[in-house]
Structure 1
Amino acid sequence: MPEISIVIPIHNEEKYLLNNITQLTSELEKAKVLDYEIVLCENGSTDKTRELARDLMGKFNSVRLIVLEKADYGAALKECMIAARGNYIVQYDLDYWDVSFLRKTFLLMKEFEYNVIIGSKNMLLSKDERHLPRRIISQGFRLFLFFFFRLKVSDTHGVKAFRNDEKLQQLIKETKFSRHIFDTELVLRCQTKGLNIIELPMAIAEGRPSPTKSIIKRVPEAVTDLIRLWWELKNGKKKIERPDV
């Protein structure tokens, strides 16, 4: 079994997939990260992403592929994490990864009892060089999570590392939402269950062109799902706290 599982959802990535995965594996080898697997989940692509992902499996023994017929980032990430065989899971996006983050989190999790380590773009020492609309949306999202959920960390999207044990897998299976907020729900459930979570500052920049219209279009969907999640967690907490009769 590999020590580390790197999980990456992919959708309509034919322009970037081969080059980026090849670059990632090269960086991992240079950093002497050898005991790993890369779990890709292709979800509902309409281009040649699936075929190219299969080519990668033939090129790299470390690459595994899961296929979902419907386009859904959250569902794809969930399937990747359930399928992960490593003792630790590191979540990347195809256009953004940080091998130094992987090395740091691996050492921290081996030395200490951390369950989740979040690479945050919102900490004091973080550096967020994305274009202004994305930064504004991220800050609004962060404030929403703080006021409605009392989230104790500054970020839930982006790179993260998890200790892959029974507690994590149970929480993954308990998640109810996919699309844009699966990883947010998972972090919130980890916090609610008292798992040990820390965050590290990250530097992030645009990895590719990101149309503002498509980002803004996702905001109402994400807010609607967050309100439903707030209701779900609120009622779930009441059920847990209800004394046995």
Structure 2
Amino acid sequence: MKVTKSVTIVIPVYNDVQALGRAVPVVLETISSISDEYELIIAEDASTDGSSELAAKFAREHAQIIHMHRDERLGRGSALSLAAKKSKGEIFCYFDVDLATDISHLGDLLGLIAGGYDMATGSRLLPDSRITRSTDREVKSRGYNFLVRLILKSRLSDHQCGFKAFRTDVLRDLLDETRDIHWFWDTEILVRGQHKGLRIAEIPVAWTEGEGTTVRSGDIWRMGKAIFQLWWQLHVS
């Protein structure tokens, strides 16, 4: 479907040169069929594998592509926040460079924002979602999302799916309060949005686990700690 609003797409990248090379042509072809006014920001942090050079090459070759490079790795959430502040689109969208979420869902995601929603997110845990991943990751993901719903009273099924879109002005307002700069950023944004009564849509997606993606025990503990910290920020501090 076509959307009439301008769109900013952001792909966070850290040492993912092969995935970046595969993703950019697919993203450009897909978004050009959805919006006539768009930009693609490659938010690349201190990569050492050639991702920075490839992103710069794409930016030279395509006027719609912006290479946002940082010399220090400051975190995925930090990169997304900076991109949101620099973006020109009325709709802000991001997804993972490995295109784990089927990009065929992009029109539906952007259409929800164009149609009046403040935020829209893909979900790997809705009944109609189609996912391929290891049992270990499935169990940990469901456990994490259960805790977010239980402790933070979220109504959403999946908070960490890297496939989200926002009204840009709404997202910028939320960034004034958002504290996390790493992987919990996704969850914090969605929870703070619900706390403010924003209109949020969740759609089922087809999702395939990328090669080399792992969830370590230490990550689980950090996520749990982040959940309780956000609860404290919302209810006590």
Give the structure-1-normalised TM-score.
0.86
Equivalent residue for 2:51? 49
What residue in structure 1 maps to residue 37 of structure 2? 35
Aligned partners of 1:15, 1:36: CA distance in 2, in Å? 24
1:1-245 equivalences under 5 Å are: 3-29=6-32, 31-68=33-70, 69-96=72-99, 97-111=101-115, 113-157=116-160, 158-165=162-169, 167-210=170-213, 212=214, 215-236=216-237
Question: Aligned pair in 2 of structure 1 residues 89, 32: CA closer, same or farther (>3 Å)?
Answer: closer
Q: Aligned-pair distance for 1:26?
A: 2.5
1:119-159 deviation per Cα after TM superposition (whole angstroms, max 9, x unaligned): 11111111121111111111011111011000011111221
- Distance in structure 2 (CA, Å) of the matches to 1:226 and 1:22: 37
Q: RMSD between aligned alpha carbons?
A: 1.8
User: Could you tell me the percent identity over the aligned residues?
Assistant: 28
For 1:163 and 1:103, the matched residues in 2 are separated by 15
Structure 1: runs of 5+ lacking an equivalent = 237-245
Q: Structure 1 CA distance, aligned partners of 2:41 and 2:188?
A: 21
| CA distance in structure 2 between the aligned counterparts of 1:13 and 1:217, rounded to whole angstroms | 23
Larger radius of gyration: 1
Q: Quote how far apart the aligned CAs of 1:102 are.
A: 2.3
Q: Give ranges in structure 2 of 5+ residues lacking alignment.
A: none
Q: 1:88 Cα shift?
A: 0.6
Inter-partner Cα distance in structure 2 for 1:207 and 1:60: 27
